[in-house]
């Protein structure tokens, strides 16, 4: 990984087989850097939408939020969607709200059983 990198794709959100969206982690030390990374993601990406995680809301501006949303990108602060639970990290209830909001931004109709699906068992677990 580039030492100066401010963005890394950490995975994809795939709410159904026909829809997959990249999830990026943005680490920016200024509002300018965040705006630049959001703009770069919009211009260089071939995806119809993306979830852009940041550690906090620090450096967010109304202009950056609006630019991201108008190009089907959603900024999400990790401090609001992840919490420590002993020695593990767990999603908060806010995470589902962000995903629902993102689905609206990209005009995606989620399957009716989306919230009721159980995660697949981990390999080697019965």
Residue 34 lies in a domain: yes
What's the predicted TM-score (pTM) here? 0.82
Q: How many CA atoms lie within 13 A of 123 on its CB side?
A: 0
Residue 48 lies in a domain: yes
Mean pLDDT across the chain = 86
Residues 61-106: pLDDT tens digits? 999 999 999 999 999 999 999 999 999 999 999 999 999 999 999 9
Residue 73 lies in a domain: yes
User: How far, rounded to the nearest angstrom, does the alpha carbon of residue 45 sit from its chain's CA centroid?
Assistant: 14
Task: Identify the three-state secondary structure at position 11.
Answer: strand
First-last CA distance in the chain: 36
Residue 42 lies in a domain: yes
Domains: count for the chain: 1
Query: Domain residues for 101?
Result: 7-116
Residue 124 lies in a domain: no
User: Does 2 score more than 60 pLDDT?
Assistant: no
Supply the pLDDT for residue 99: 93
């Amino acid at each position: 990984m580039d030492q100066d990198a401010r963005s890394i794709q950490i995975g994809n959100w795939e709410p159904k087989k026909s829809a997959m969206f990249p999830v990026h982690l943005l680490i920016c030390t200024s509002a300018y850097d965040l705006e630049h990374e959001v703009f770069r993601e919009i211009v260089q990406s071939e995806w119809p939408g993306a979830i852009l995680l940041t550690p906090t809301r620090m450096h967010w501006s109304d202009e950056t939020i609006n630019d991201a949303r108008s190009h089907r990108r959603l900024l999400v602060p990790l401090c609001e969607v992840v919490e420590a639970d002993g020695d593990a990290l767990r999603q908060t209830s806010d995470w589902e709200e962000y995903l629902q909001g993102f689905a609206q931004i990209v005009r995606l109709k989620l399957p009716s059983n989306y919230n009721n699906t159980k995660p697949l068992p981990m390999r080697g677990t019965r």
